[in-house]
Copies of this chain bind each other. A is one copy, B any other.
Amino acid sequence: MNKVRGRRAGSPDTRAQILEAARDRFLSGGYAGTSMRAIAADAGVDVALLSYHFSSKQGLFAAAMELPVRPGELIEHALDAPVEQWPGRILRTVLRVWDDPEIGPVLAQTVLVSATQERGAGGFVEFLETELLGRIRGRLAGRDADARATGVLMSIAGLLMARYVVKVPSVAAKSSEEIVRIVTPSIAIHLRGARLRDQSA
C-alpha cells in the first residue's frame, strides 16, 4: 500500500492492476463473495480509488468481466451455412468459447450476476433473446419459425446451465465431443425440414 497521498509518480497503469485483481477475485470468489477492499488490497490501492475509476462495485464487475469476443458475431458466423449444419456449428462454437478457461468462467459469473440482479450487468437475457433467439428466428422461414428457434434456444441453454453454471458433475466431466454427440439431435430435431428465409430482401 502506497502511503503517500496524491497522484503517483511515473504513469503506472493502476487501472489495469485493479482490473486484474478484480478479475481474479470475482472469478474465484463470486460477486457477493469478494469485497472491494480485498480487490484494493491486492492491487495495492485504497478502496476509494475503485469507486473513483469505476463508480460502483457493479461497474467494476462489468469492466473486469469484459469479454475479448463478441458472442453475437460468433453466432452469426455459425449460422452462415445450410440449416443442416447448424447444430454442429452452433454447438462447436458454443463449446469452444465456454470451454476456454479465459472465457467460460467469466461468462458463467456474468450469467449468475445478471440473473441475480434484476437489471443485470451485461444483460444476459437480452443476449439470449436478441442475439441468439432473434438471429435464429430471423433466418428461418415459415409459420413455425418461432417454435423452432425457441427449441434450439432451450437446448443450448440447458447445456450451458448444466455444464458451466450449475456444473452438474456428470455433464461437466464429459468431453466436448461427447457433449456434441448428445446435444446435436436435440437441436437438429427442431430444424428438421426447416427452410431458410429468402436473404435477397
Contact = CB atoms under 8 A, between A and B. Distances in A.
A115 interface: yes
Given A116-B32, A182-B150, A125 B155 contact: no
A70 B155 CA distance: 26
B150 A30 contact: no
Interface size class of A (residues with CB under 8 A): 35 or more
Interface in A162-189: 162, 165-171, 174, 178, 181-183, 185-186, 189
A156 interface: yes
A111 B165 CA distance: 11
Given A124-B166, A125-B166, A186 B155 contact: yes
Contacts of A166: 111, 114-115, 124-125, 128, 157
Contact of A151 (B30, B115, B183): B183
Contact of A129 (B156, B158, B170, B190): B170
Interface in A84-119: 111-112, 114-118
Given A155-B154, A158-B155, A115 B168 contact: no
A116 B30 CA distance: 7
Contacts of A168: 125, 128-129, 133, 153, 157
A90 to B, nearest CB: 13
A20 interface: no
Nearest to A148: B182
A30 B185 CA distance: 36
Contacts of A169: 125, 129
Interface of A: 30-33, 111-112, 114-118, 124-125, 128-129, 133, 146-147, 150-151, 153-162, 165-171, 174, 178, 181-183, 185-186, 189-190
